[in-house]
Amino acid sequence: FPFPCLSLSSLVCDHPFVSQHDSAFLSRHFRNMQFHGFCSYPHGGYVTFGLLLACLAGTGASWYAFASCRFVVLNYATDLGPFNQMFDNRGAGDVEEKYQIAAGLFSWLQPYNRRGAISWNDGRCTGYTRNQREGGFGDDIFEVARVFAVITVLLSISIFLWVLITMCVSMGRCHIRLLSMVLLLSSITTGMSMLVLRSGLCNNVGNNTECSLDEGGLVAIAAIILWFVAFLIALLFVVPVGEDLILVEGELRSDFEERQAARKRKEELRRQAQLERRIHREEEAVYQKEQRQRQRAERHNRTTPNKSKKPDRVDLGTPDTFGTVEDESGTEVYIKRRLDNIEDMVDSEYEI
């Protein structure tokens, strides 16, 4: 894996030394990562989503806290001028004034001057200058706190990607323990950012300095708690595949394998339903086509008149012919019949 934590996990848990032993203990604790399909959740959907949400919240809280320019609030008195001028070696002034500023690990809140009124919590984030860090409060403790903040950011990215991978890849017990250790390490490194309270920023700026946590510091405390919650989830609820046993019909079976079997049955039922719907649509299409053809034929028969060929009129002058009669529709029908007398003509059936 290209990420530091995953590389460490692969190096330790997939070492050739492990593959040379076939004992049940080693196979249980050093099982290699295995891909089971996208969104298969080998360690359980609820556990994976809970761990993912905790890591996502911890990552967001950590980034916000370290990027904030309001990690701490300083109240101090000095005769060297405002915070952006007191480290420029301008010399002391005549009157000592009280100031209040908000500062973070990498920037501070420079107040706006709105119509002659300055509010300490209304301004823009401004990076520290070299004079401020080297000639003022930039001691070793302050630099260590900044380094731990950078380490936390790098760990949070690796952890978040690692947890995303667990949505489709199963881990052995060794990988789970390493993930738990990294989560605990993230909680510790986030807490080490509180060293800023012991640094020169909170102790070497002006006189009678009072330093307290602002919104960035409070969010950092929330990040510590969230990383620790993620650590507990990974330690207590993430179980290797094969050890997540449940009781099914009086037998102990793997919960993941049962979910996989149920997922396969559901997929087969879905495909069967799709096939049945397709066959039904085809039969319905054939039926509709036959209906349209039948209706078209009926309309054609109703609109086309029945034209019978009219026979040629015979010569009525011969003794073998007899006049004309009309049928029910009023059409003249010409008949030819040999008749002997009038009674035979009345009683006989005419041939058309």
- Model confidence pLDDT, tens digit, residues 256-291: 666 667 777 787 888 888 888 999 898 899 888 888
* Judgement on whether residues 153 and 108 belong to the same structural domain of the protein: yes
* Judgement on whether residues 108 and 257 belong to the same structural domain of the protein: no
Separation CA 243–CA 235 (nearest Å): 14
Q: Say if 2 falls within a structural domain.
A: no
* Judgement on whether residues 101 and 209 belong to the same structural domain of the protein: yes
For the entire predicted model, the pTM comes to: 0.65
User: In the prediction, which pLDDT does 339 show?
Assistant: 45
What is the token pair recorded at 52?
């993912």
Among 177, 206, 241, residue at a domain's last position: 241
The full DSSP string for 196-255 is GGGSHHHHSSSEEEEEEE-HHHHHHHHHHHHHHHHHHHHHHT---TTT-EEEETTEEEEH
User: In the prediction, which pLDDT does 90 show?
Assistant: 58
User: In the prediction, which pLDDT does 68 show?
Assistant: 92
* Judgement on whether residues 214 and 334 belong to the same structural domain of the protein: no
User: In the prediction, which pLDDT does 344 show?
Assistant: 54
What is the token pair recorded at 64?
């916000």
Q: Say if 191 falls within a structural domain.
A: yes
* Judgement on whether residues 28 and 114 belong to the same structural domain of the protein: yes
Supply the range of the domain harboring residue 143. Answer: 7-241
* Judgement on whether residues 73 and 39 belong to the same structural domain of the protein: yes
User: In the prediction, which pLDDT does 93 show?
Assistant: 59
Q: Say if 270 falls within a structural domain.
A: yes
* Judgement on whether residues 266 and 348 belong to the same structural domain of the protein: no
User: In the prediction, which pLDDT does 321 show?
Assistant: 46
The full DSSP string for 121-178 is EEEEEEEPPHHHIIIII--HHHHHHHHHHHHHHHHHHHHHHHHHHTTTEE--HHHHHH
User: What is the domain count for the chain?
Assistant: 3
Q: Say if 304 falls within a structural domain.
A: no
Q: What is the CATH number of the domain that holds 229?
A: 1.20.140.150
* Judgement on whether residues 118 and 185 belong to the same structural domain of the protein: yes
* Judgement on whether residues 255 and 350 belong to the same structural domain of the protein: no
Question: Residue for token digits 């094969």?
Answer: 242
User: In the prediction, which pLDDT does 14 show?
Assistant: 52
* Judgement on whether residues 342 and 197 belong to the same structural domain of the protein: no
* Judgement on whether residues 157 and 45 belong to the same structural domain of the protein: yes
User: In the prediction, which pLDDT does 139 show?
Assistant: 82
Separation CA 59–CA 163 (nearest Å): 12
Q: Say if 130 falls within a structural domain.
A: yes
Q: Say if 22 falls within a structural domain.
A: yes
What is the token pair recorded at 158?
């690796």
Question: Residue for token digits 């004992």?
Answer: 23
Q: Say if 61 falls within a structural domain.
A: yes
pLDDT beneath 70, residues of the chain: 1-33, 36-37, 88-94, 114-118, 135-136, 242-260, 305-352
Separation CA 274–CA 19 (nearest Å): 45
* Judgement on whether residues 156 and 257 belong to the same structural domain of the protein: no
Q: Say if 308 falls within a structural domain.
A: no
